[in-house]
Amino acid sequence: MTFSQAPGDDWISEQRRLWARKSGLRHYYETEIFRRVTAEMTDGPGLQLGTGAGFFSRHRPGLVNTDITGHDGVDVAADVHDLPFADGAFASVVGIDVLHHFARPARALTECARVLRPGGRLVLVEPWAGTFGWWFFRHVHHEDCSHPDDPWDDAFPGPKQPLDGNSAIPIMVLHQRAAELAHRVPGLRPVRREPFGCVSFVLTGGFQKMGLPAPVIRGFRLLEGLLPASVMARLALRALFVLEKQGP
């Protein structure tokens, strides 16, 4: 997999360099994340939010790829809070590590619902700040992990940069306060929530220099697959969220 350079986007170039070098990272994303997202997508045109360095768009070609700024691999520069697409334009909207960056999640999710056709799906993979995840994202990960007073409409009080994130946002709005979704985002119904990934995710090293190779990551993935769902919900660091657009 090769990419052209994206001048001025140093973090993108660095992520692409690490992706090419780290077999364990590629294996994890392709088997644990991309596989889950692809399996939940519905047939028809698809939209990707926050395409970033473009790894999923290369795995699943044919998507309309968006990001907050235009760079190599982005088809449309767009703010998720005000998407420039027609109502019902897409069968699937997907995002990997995007929701926990949204300043106003309720507004962003409402826009996702608007551009989905009835029966279409919003498929997200996000941090899971559960029992172990809360500690990990608070003390190990570089992003914030805290409980804002209003995670729906003011997730980042004060000034916010595009890459600022809060790992607690997804579990707050799509699990702990999911009962509020019906009136915050009418027409969008949760259909699946699956926490996954613990030691296997940590051992990839993420987009840092250190990380173990694919055979080691594969072994830990298989061991984690033997754990009951109730245990994984406590240990997981990642989660799949699937929401469906209800008909008129």
Cβ neighbours of residue 217 closer than 8 Å, sequence gap 6 or more? 24, 27, 28, 200, 203, 204
Domain annotation covers residue 4: no
> Strands 64-67, 238-245: parallel, antiparallel or unpaired by DSSP?
unpaired
pLDDT by residue for the chain (248 residues), tens digit each?
A: 333 333 346 899 999 999 999 999 999 999 999 999 999 999 999 999 999 999 999 999 999 999 999 999 999 999 999 999 999 999 999 999 999 999 999 999 999 999 999 999 999 999 999 999 999 999 999 899 999 999 999 999 988 998 899 999 999 999 999 999 999 999 999 999 999 999 999 999 999 999 999 999 999 999 999 999 999 999 999 999 999 999 87
Domain annotation covers residue 43: yes
What's the token pair of residue 3? Answer: 């990419």
Domain annotation covers residue 2: no
Give the domain CATH number at 90.
3.40.50.150
pLDDT at 156: 96
Say if CB 92 and CB 41 are below 8 A apart: yes
Domain annotation covers residue 128: yes
pLDDT at 93: 98
Domain annotation covers residue 20: yes
> Strands 64-67, 116-127: parallel, antiparallel or unpaired by DSSP?
unpaired
Domain annotation covers residue 1: no
pLDDT at 1: 30
pLDDT at 104: 97
pLDDT at 230: 97
pLDDT at 9: 66
DSSP 167-229: TTHHHIIIIITGGGHHHHSTTEEEEEEEEE-SHHHHHHTTTSS----HHHHHHHHHHHTTS-H
Domain annotation covers residue 3: no
pLDDT at 102: 97
How far apart (Å, rounded) are the C-alpha atoms in residues 220 and 161? 35
Residue 116 β-bridge partners: 90
Q: Which residues span the domain enclosing 62?
A: 10-245
How far apart (Å, rounded) are the C-alpha atoms in residues 228 and 232? 6
pLDDT at 2: 32
Could you give the number of structural domains in the chain? 1
pLDDT at 247: 84
pLDDT at 4: 35
How far apart (Å, rounded) are the C-alpha atoms in residues 69 and 57? 16
Domain annotation covers residue 23: yes
